[in-house]
Amino acid sequence: MDKDRIEGSANQAKGAIKEAAGKITGDAKLKAEGAADKAAGKVQNAVGGMKDAVRDAIN
């Protein structure tokens, strides 16, 4: 498993927590930061998946 996939999943989880905390507290900035972290994590996870697929195809 590629390092980007692990970090991407962690960023998605961190974003989900921030977003939920923002919703609960009514903090729009925290909620937006959480959504951005989740989106960045999804992209990073996808990049890691592509790296894994290329690595598997080469081997």
Give the pLDDT confidence of 16-34 residue by residue, as tens digits: 999 999 999 999 999 999 9
What local confidence, expressed as pLDDT, does residue 59 receive? 82
Write down the domain spans for the chain.
3-58
Residue 7 has pLDDT above 80, yes or no: yes
- pLDDT category, 2, cuts 50, 70, 90? confident
Round to the nearest angstrom and report the end-to-end CA distance of the chain: 14
For the entire predicted model, the pTM comes to 0.82
Q: What is the mean pLDDT of the chain?
A: 94
Concatenating the DSSP letter of every residue in 7-54 gives HHHHHHHHHHHHHHHHHHHT-HHHHHHHHHHHHHHHHHHHHHHHHHHH
Neighbours of 11 (CB within 10 A): 20
Q: For CA atoms 40, 43, 46, 50, give the dihedral sign.
A: negative
Report whether pLDDT(1) > 90: no
